[in-house]
Structure 1
């Protein structure tokens, strides 16, 4: 990785950087003394279920505060995680322009990680529900790299991303509105509602329309979150209600076949039918009860979720102007999820802590699909409507999952400098599937198949952390951990309906690392190395009929090194830099490609970059000018399994500047300022096709194509002010 490669495109954000630099002396000339940072522990709950400083946890954990998100103007997952070491989040992808595809530990799959929102798996027993993820009024985001085989069981692999919203009735609030080009805009209100005794409540309501440069591409999202809690019966009852509607007009992936990764259709063209859509509705209810018990604590959570998605979309099957040259499908997908967890946490003396619990995750998905062929010019002009196309095949799918587990995790401090975390879990998973297909062009009773897979299997982890020098304020920690986990095979909910249930994915990983907090908290760094051996990774391929399907991909090995360095020059001025080296390769996998069996042993996985880097500078005083600059670098990566198509490295810039006075602020934010447009994620439904990094907005503000958001925000809204 060359320095010139990382900083390619420097000219685009120069204006933002200069304005940010000019703002710093304004505060330095103020008569009051310079604000200095104070040492505070960075608390996480994802790795341990109970609050614990990230420095003592024997695992790589990153916590991004809500204040940091606000300072950087981060409103979506790609921008929120832009400075997380070794994590790269591609916007858009198969789930539509409102979705995203994270890469953790070198594996870019939207279903390889676990997404958790306020302690509940967001997507249940199936795939992370990324299009409905909302980052309004967030307290913090926690990222645990690697699996969580004890506390979260059979639903996590390369990492856990947990979004934690502010508690019910939390003081303060905010009203914001923003606008951008391509008819984009939105507004949000997050306020505490009137309190009464031990009853606390808050409400978040927001809506937005996001346009894109891509033809016929946008999404509209409406969201409401009501949170409440009640002190009663010696504890606290919790009630949350979350509802969202996300209506998307999807972009098309671009076919790429040439070794130089040239695009084979015009950039920003759309080959979907004219009435293409991905319309999601989701209703999510959570209740829980927490209380002290027998010198410890007892916590119970129950979540119920119903979602419905209606979609119409299509993908090219030929690069010639022949009729037909594309295949599309209609689909109605309904999912229902139930999540239950109850666990006890005890402090055993002064040196041990125990968490024991049971959880249950139920999911049922029903999909009905119909396929059709159509013709569309390669430039996407004059798209036909799916309503005018005769239907070819009908598919139906009914998949039911029951995942349950008993878990026990112990934390033990044999001395004041050693910290041991060990846990085990007994998993019991049952999956039943019924799938059928039929011809629609003539009367056909169709074929139907069923399958069932039951797995009872243990999983677990052990980790050790050693404070080699210093104390919690300024210290140096070494840690190591080992994890063993498995996960039932994912479903991509494409048009096909395969009755066969694939083998579960399994992984064993080891991790070693060093962490340090120095200069009273002004400077922190972490260096980790990992290796994960993976079996039965689920990958997409095309059938002889051109329809997508999923298969198990033998064995793979992921290894890498990740570095995260950050410092505070003042309490309102901080910087961060990261670097990651990843090596993700097939170890034992044979696949039929172009009619021949091909060994892929030793080949790098698709879209897994060896090098990633990021750097950011944030200046966020209480009043006056503020701003931020962030740069991300992604190295070259192969687009195909044969490793014949190499996409070059790319760099993206984002920046923001604004003015804050009392209860309001006005800001201007931009992403992908240098307007680079590389392939960033693989389509599992379009063979050999890739989604391109979007140019979110166009403006002539600095005479180059870039993304711009202009927003107004006010905060510190009391219930009396709201009423």
Structure 2
């Protein structure tokens, strides 16, 4: 399949016209930069954000603060593990999906999910309700693009004090590119394997000392190493930022449109196929599609009303739709079977379609500041979060064993030999309407008892109302829940460059909090809750040139709700009992030698079932889709100030396909490499993914991409 490239050229023409029509003054923007080789690694976040994408050391410099903490504190004062990923690092290799960028992150497991992201943190699912965009929950099943994302922040462990309902493994915050008074503008294009074409536009313009505007846009059109698979993506995001004369007020308004049209690749599990089936053959039928569309408008206001005291008010409206119609999965027919309509030598496929709409309105307000009580310094954060979410899902599903509905047949050895029996139908097999309303009040205080010892105390009160209607049979369910979520941590900094900590955190996940559970009047409505105990150390070495982070943790998850048979009974949920996750994580980033930089980490995650009254045979089993070992290591060498080379390995350990531990997916090591050049105006990179062409599986139904390349060039002004 070859996808249309017209929009790509339209963007290039549009960008060229803008460049020709407008001249930018040389002194309009100031880029804070030192010599590459001699820069210290631990720099203020504003300096890193001012670096151009493609700056030789941008992705090897750590961020001092992380927005995901909501309090503006130095990361070393936070008694929890925090990882930050600069998106430009992975854009160089052509990655765009959130799950791809998180591969190899310590403690984070990713898998292929045609509908969503397939992400778990410390063993617990995060891709439904624990992903945020600029501090606002990014709810629902949808493939998340990073086309307009500056960096990704991961706060490990329960985070209910800051964010309310939470699955307990952690939260992911995507920080958007917005109008500012530091960043330069750029225009770029790229070309790569499998007819991969794209163009980017990033215009950041300072109109005067008070107003800056920005327009970011990206178009991508690509096919896949799997024949017949491709996608077409368009992103457009304008923003405007205002600051007053004394810079005590900063107000940003942003709109984002992100659309992804794709042919869905949803093959059967590899262990249901003969071993010699080629992995480059897809299982899509003519007419299969999935469309993800996100529209988001938000306002973010920060105001310093007193010295050391700030008000933050953010309002967001988000609309995310996902529609699809496709054949998927299925089983291999070794012999003809009349009952199952099997045809010997073919894969007999399932069929389903969906129209899902998710609307979320969020209003969050907080105040932060400093004050003293005697010799104790307080850094206080308190606020309120209000959110309203609606999810409307129409769904039609027909299995390969059903007596009605269309059937798909594919010869797994011959791409051209595929056909459908029966026409696609719009029969609704389920129609569920969910509505959730959340209200939370929180307070968190970092107390400096003595200069070397700090105490973190936090408490949050949440109420959550969930209403759901099965519109086919008109069953209605309503549930109200409330919860107190505490956290406490102590930080000891015996010397400036080392910070040791210990903490306890609790989170809760109310019934319906995931937003897609079907009405089932017999289901327990008790809230899940997690408790985590963590100790760790955050350090800077060699005159702050190298930063490290070490954490050991144990999480106990209670009142588990899970799907006993997600494949055959996806709408049935039950209380299983208790899960436990314990492990260790190490991450590092910075400068090893004068011209050698390093980043990477390793995570060991032992996540298993400790109690299961529903299925006792699951006790002791590992949690599904969670790798016990994850890690990555990247080295970058700068022979000159402008030229650099990089090589890295991403390691993902084996994992089981489900909690029953019936099948194991082997782990893999993938080696990637790149070379690049960057001066004040031009940047170019050539990246090769999977240079050893290793054969591996991201998930039981999706092999990893074979060796491929991407060439990217950017002009900065």
TM-score bin, normalised by smaller chain: 0.7 to 0.9
Matches of 1:417 and 1:69 in 2, distance apart?
38
Corresponding residue for residue 510 of structure 1: 533
Matches within 5 A, 1:43-192: 43-46=64-67, 48-65=69-86, 75-78=96-99, 80-82=101-103, 84-90=105-111, 92-95=112-115, 100-107=117-124, 110-111=127-128, 114-123=130-139, 126-127=140-141, 129=142, 131-136=143-148, 138=150, 140-155=151-166, 157-170=168-181, 171-192=183-204
Q: For the structure 1 residues 135 and 263, does the alpha-carbon distance in structure 2 shift closer, same or farther, using more than 3 Å as the test?
A: farther
Equivalent of residue 379 in structure 2, options 345, 353, 364: 353
Equivalent of residue 310 in structure 1, options 305, 323, 330: 323
Q: Please identify, of 303-312 and 573-582, the stretch whose mean Cα deviation from structure 2 is larger.
A: 573-582
Corresponding residue for residue 675 of structure 1: 693
Matches of 2:290 and 2:517 in 1, distance apart?
14
Corresponding residue for residue 227 of structure 1: 239
- Once the two structures are superposed, residues 412-470 of structure 1 have per-residue CA deviations (whole angstroms, 9 ceiling, x without a partner) of 10010112111111110001000144xxxxxxxxx2311111101111211111012x2
Matches of 2:504 and 2:218 in 1, distance apart?
42
Q: Please say if 1:691 is aligned against 2:701.
A: yes
Matches of 1:566 and 1:179 in 2, distance apart?
30
Equivalent of residue 483 in structure 2, options 444, 453, 457: 457
Q: Please say if 1:555 is aligned against 2:575.
A: no
Corresponding residue for residue 35 of structure 1: 38
Corresponding residue for residue 660 of structure 1: 678
Q: For the structure 1 residues 236 and 367, does the alpha-carbon distance in structure 2 shift closer, same or farther, using more than 3 Å as the test?
A: same
Q: Please say if 1:487 is aligned against 2:513.
A: no
Q: Please identify, of 232-241 and 151-160, the stretch whose mean Cα deviation from structure 2 is larger.
A: 232-241
Corresponding residue for residue 685 of structure 1: none
Q: Please say if 1:237 is aligned against 2:251.
A: yes
Matches within 5 A, 1:303-452: 303-320=316-333, 322-323=340-341, 325-349=348-372, 351-371=377-397, 372-379=405-412, 381-384=416-419, 388-389=423-424, 393-437=428-472, 447-452=473-478
Matches of 1:116 and 1:495 in 2, distance apart?
20
- Once the two structures are superposed, residues 329-361 of structure 1 have per-residue CA deviations (whole angstroms, 9 ceiling, x without a partner) of 221111111011011112113711111111111
Query: Offset of 1:47 from its aligned partner?
Result: 5.2
Please state whether the residue corresponding to 1:351 is helix, strand or coil.
strand
Please state whether the residue corresponding to 1:376 is helix, strand or coil.
strand
Query: Offset of 1:190 from its aligned partner?
Result: 0.6
Q: For the structure 1 residues 512 and 545, does the alpha-carbon distance in structure 2 shift closer, same or farther, using more than 3 Å as the test?
A: closer
Instruction: Give the conservation status (yes or no) of the 8 Å contact 2:108–2:122.
Output: yes
How does the TM-score come out when normalised to structure 1? Answer: 0.81
Instruction: Give the conservation status (yes or no) of the 8 Å contact 2:145–2:258.
Output: no
- Once the two structures are superposed, residues 145-199 of structure 1 have per-residue CA deviations (whole angstroms, 9 ceiling, x without a partner) of 1121111111452112222234413430221111112221111011113513422
Q: Please identify, of 369-378 and 222-231, the stretch whose mean Cα deviation from structure 2 is larger.
A: 369-378
Matches of 2:275 and 2:658 in 1, distance apart?
14
Equivalent of residue 633 in structure 1, options 636, 645, 651: 651
Please state whether the residue corresponding to 1:151 is helix, strand or coil.
helix
Instruction: Give the conservation status (yes or no) of the 8 Å contact 1:560–1:581.
Output: yes
Matches of 1:137 and 1:603 in 2, distance apart?
37
Corresponding residue for residue 645 of structure 1: 663
Instruction: Give the conservation status (yes or no) of the 8 Å contact 1:607–1:680.
Output: no
Equivalent of residue 602 in structure 2, options 576, 579, 590: 579
Matches of 1:508 and 1:476 in 2, distance apart?
26
- Once the two structures are superposed, residues 218-253 of structure 1 have per-residue CA deviations (whole angstroms, 9 ceiling, x without a partner) of 221100111112236973332111111111211114
Q: For the structure 1 residues 237 and 54, does the alpha-carbon distance in structure 2 shift closer, same or farther, using more than 3 Å as the test?
A: closer
Please state whether the residue corresponding to 1:408 is helix, strand or coil.
strand
Instruction: Give the conservation status (yes or no) of the 8 Å contact 1:39–1:520.
Output: no
Query: Offset of 1:43 from its aligned partner?
Result: 2.2
Query: Offset of 1:658 from its aligned partner?
Result: 2.4
Matches of 2:69 and 2:258 in 1, distance apart?
30
Q: CA RMSD in A?
A: 3.1
Q: For the structure 1 residues 34 and 627, does the alpha-carbon distance in structure 2 shift closer, same or farther, using more than 3 Å as the test?
A: closer
Query: Offset of 1:654 from its aligned partner?
Result: 1.4
Corresponding residue for residue 702 of structure 1: none
Matches of 1:435 and 1:199 in 2, distance apart?
49
- Once the two structures are superposed, residues 187-220 of structure 1 have per-residue CA deviations (whole angstroms, 9 ceiling, x without a partner) of 1011113513422211101111232122322221
- Once the two structures are superposed, residues 68-107 of structure 1 have per-residue CA deviations (whole angstroms, 9 ceiling, x without a partner) of 55777765435544563323434x4232xxx532232133
Instruction: Give the conservation status (yes or no) of the 8 Å contact 2:410–2:419.
Output: no
Instruction: Give the conservation status (yes or no) of the 8 Å contact 2:609–2:623.
Output: yes
Corresponding residue for residue 608 of structure 1: 626
Aligned length, in residue pairs:
638
Q: For the structure 1 residues 289 and 477, does the alpha-carbon distance in structure 2 shift closer, same or farther, using more than 3 Å as the test?
A: closer
Q: Please identify, of 238-247 and 348-357, the stretch whose mean Cα deviation from structure 2 is larger.
A: 348-357
Instruction: Give the conservation status (yes or no) of the 8 Å contact 1:343–1:355.
Output: yes
Matches of 2:318 and 2:286 in 1, distance apart?
31
Instruction: Give the conservation status (yes or no) of the 8 Å contact 2:238–2:256.
Output: yes
- Once the two structures are superposed, residues 265-313 of structure 1 have per-residue CA deviations (whole angstroms, 9 ceiling, x without a partner) of 6524433442111112221110132212344111111101122222112
Query: Offset of 1:492 from its aligned partner?
Result: 8.3
Query: Offset of 1:393 from its aligned partner?
Result: 4.9
Matches of 2:304 and 2:434 in 1, distance apart?
39
Q: For the structure 1 residues 167 and 386, does the alpha-carbon distance in structure 2 shift closer, same or farther, using more than 3 Å as the test?
A: farther
Matches of 2:327 and 2:234 in 1, distance apart?
26
Matches of 1:378 and 1:488 in 2, distance apart?
45
Corresponding residue for residue 706 of structure 1: 707
Instruction: Give the conservation status (yes or no) of the 8 Å contact 2:609–2:618.
Output: yes
Matches of 1:558 and 1:665 in 2, distance apart?
43
Matches within 5 A, 1:267-278: 267-278=279-290
The structure with higher relative contact order (CA 8 Å, sep 6+) is: 1
Instruction: Give the conservation status (yes or no) of the 8 Å contact 2:351–2:408.
Output: no
Structure 2 residue runs without a partner (length 5+) = 1-34, 45-62, 343-347, 398-404
Please state whether the residue corresponding to 1:599 is helix, strand or coil.
helix
Matches of 1:134 and 1:366 in 2, distance apart?
25
Corresponding residue for residue 207 of structure 2: 195
Instruction: Give the conservation status (yes or no) of the 8 Å contact 2:114–2:265.
Output: no
How does the TM-score come out when normalised to structure 2? Answer: 0.81
